[in-house]
Structure 1
Amino acid sequence: MNESEFNTLADQTLAAIEQALDGCGADLDYELKAGGVLEIVCADGSKVIVNRHGAAREIWVAAKSGGFHFAPVAGRWVSARDGSELVATLCRCLSEQSGETVALAIS
């Protein structure tokens, strides 16, 4: 996958996450910033950052519980560390950090 293809896929994924945040019902604010950075702010002011990392061809998540890296594998974003998927990890991080159950419906 070349950089242009990666950026397109990552941007589509970030837009899908943004749309899912709209419908999740949790008390979260978010903003998709230039350069493929999605900043999600919980009610207590803490943040979860989701961004594309072009050099590594990964989407990275930074949360209080740690940093997570996901690469595209067969149509999914998967962690090489433990095989977890991006959306499941993001939901877990947001739920832990916000104190609410966060379920993101991403197709």
Structure 2
Amino acid sequence: MTDPEFMDRAEILLKAVEANCDRINDSTDADIDNQRTGGMVTLTFPNRSQIIINLQKPLQEIWMAAKSGGYHYKFNSDQWMDTKGQGEFFASLTRDASAQAGEPLTFTA
């Protein structure tokens, strides 16, 4: 994948995360504060825990840090997959955000 292709795909992911937060805030009591600075999105939950998603351009990866740990994702033909076999990005974000919010949430691509 070229660097411009990576940036295009990564931008789609970051915008999807932001749109999911807006949808969740409109339809639940989760109250996720999402702030974007360049290639990084920080999700802050009412209990002050955070999930941080950021781009690692030189590696063409997206990294996610949550209470459960740190994860690295590479684009694999049609989705972002964990480099250590821990699953797809949005499934992992759903799991971790639900745990940190204390209620079931759903993030989709």
**TM-based fold match above 0.5:** yes
State which of 74, 77, 99 in structure 2 corresponds to 1:96.
99
Q: Flag structure 1 segments of 5+ consecutive residues without an equivalent.
A: none
Aligned with 1:16: secondary structure?
helix
User: How large is the RMSD of aligned CA atoms in angstroms?
Assistant: 1.2
Tell me how far 1:81 sits from its aligned partner: 0.8
- Identity value in percent: 32
**TM-score where L is the length of structure 2:** 0.90
Matching residue's letter, 2:101:
S
Scaled by the length of structure 1, the TM-score of the pair is 0.91
Q: Which has the higher contact order (CA 8 A, sep 6+)?
A: 1
Name structure 2 gaps, 5 residues minimum: none
- Which amino acid counterpart does residue 18 of structure 2 have in structure 1? E
Matches within 5 A, 1:1-107: 1-24=1-24, 25=28, 26-34=30-38, 36-106=39-109
Bigger proportion of residues as helix: 2
d(CA) in 2 for partners of 1:80, 1:69: 6
